[in-house]
Amino acid sequence: MFAVITDHAVKLAAMYAELATRFNAASAAAWMFQHGALTLNELQCIQCLREQPVEAVEVLLNIIIDQPSAVYDSFLDALKHSNQQHVYQWIVYDANANGQNNLLVLFYHVDYCCF
């Protein structure tokens, strides 16, 4: 079985390590859940990692990478609406200007979830 690699997956993969420390996953995830982009199970998984913010970001990024572009767009909206515009701007503008296009291997951290 072949997986389709979307543009947003490549972009987030290239920024993965830096993004892990740049934003609050819980507030972005809450906004995304309220707007139908995350399931309750996904939201709870991220919320249970509130004491481990880097891991929470990794879980959210892994979810977004595996989803259609609409979920990525919701993530960008969540950043704008959860007082994290600086991260939105960095993803959309600064990362493009710096030519970040390295594809990283992503590992899924299923052991982070509380379920």
CATH class name, domain 7-112? mainly alpha
Q: How far apart are the first and last CA of the chain?
A: 27
pLDDT in single tens digits along all 115 residues of the chain: 445 567 888 888 888 888 888 899 999 999 999 999 999 999 999 999 999 999 999 999 999 998 999 999 999 999 999 999 999 998 988 656 555 444 333 444 444 555 5
Report domain extents, the chain.
7-112
Q: Count Cβ atoms below 10 Å from residue 8 Cβ, excluding itself.
A: 19
pLDDT at 104: 37
Q: Which residues contact 7 (CB under 8 A, 6 or more apart)?
A: 69
SS3 33: helix
The tally of CA atoms less than 13 A away on the side-chain side of residue 91 is 28
pLDDT at 95: 58
Per-residue burial over 71-110, b = 16 or more CB atoms within 10 Å of its CB, e = otherwise: bbebbbbbbebbebeebbebbeeebeeeeeeeeeeeeeee
Q: Which of 64, 55, 65 is nearest to 32 (CA)?
A: 64
For residue 36 the two structure tokens come to: 């139908």
pLDDT at 15: 87
Query: pTM score, two decimals?
Result: 0.79
